[in-house]
Amino acid sequence: MIAPVVDAAWTAAHLDDVVLADVRWYLDGRPGRAEYDRGHLPGAVFVELDDWLAAPASPEAGRHPLPDPEVFARGMRELGIGDDDTVVAYDDQGGVVAARLVWMLRVTGHDAALLDGGIGAWEGALETAPAQRAPATFTARPWPAEALASPDDAADRANAVIDARQRERYLGKGPDPVDPRPGHIPGARSLPAREHLGPDGRLLDRDTLRARFAAAGVDGARRVVSYCGSGVTACHNLVVLEHAGLGTGRLYPGSWSQWSSDPERPAATGQES
């Protein structure tokens, strides 16, 4: 299987061998498709997160539950992504959104990688015309149970539970901007996905990434559970975990949006020691 992260030079050298996927999406509601239409990597298809990478939101399941496998497969088919294609996904936020597609493909046995630095790392010309690919054959596969974590798994302090949200949301010192309650899952450690990036938008070196994970309690012995607000940027932590040579973890799909909607689940604030 392809490495979980590739750089722009590798991507440029393999344009004929991969399918580029533009997965721009914004928490503030701006349409990612509009940015794609302004300019995207050559031949890239646009993947609408809310249509193909998530099921409808609900308090019981969270803001971005995993879609039914057949819905995901239909989206890939319509975009021209097939079972045997290698996908390189990108966004304009250092990969914190595009990692959702990369994780979904990799855990179901498909070749997929994140473009390090995203569209900002691309030195070639951009295109504005939408890519046209013929429909492909993409087989629906169930989400593997071993790649997923439940709320009880996230509550289990035997696991290394990491929170990918921006630090201020983890600390919960004010109202949460999008979810019912502020704070974090008790026992979880803050590991903001965006802080894996340097000033140029590319990932920090592997030694620094490994040190960041170690500081958040990822010691190689405990199983890793990753969550965020809705299960999107949590995938970036999982892709980076693998990129850093620390193995694979599990996604808590409902994340804080599901947890904080349940009044029976406690919320912690401040920094965990």
Which residues 6+ apart lie within 8 Å of 252 measured at CB? 148, 149, 150, 151, 153, 154, 225, 226, 227, 231, 234
| Ramachandran class of 231: left when φ > 0, alpha when ψ lies in -120 to 50, beta otherwise | left
Q: Is 235 a catalytic residue?
A: no
Distance, CA of 96 to CA of 233 (rounded, Å): 5
Spatial separation of the C-alpha atoms in residues 209 and 254, rounded to whole Å: 25
Q: Which one from 101, 102, 104, 228 is the annotated catalytic residue?
A: 228
Using alpha carbons, select from 6, 16, 56, 50 the residue that is nearest to residue 30.
50
Instruction: List the catalytic residues.
Output: 228
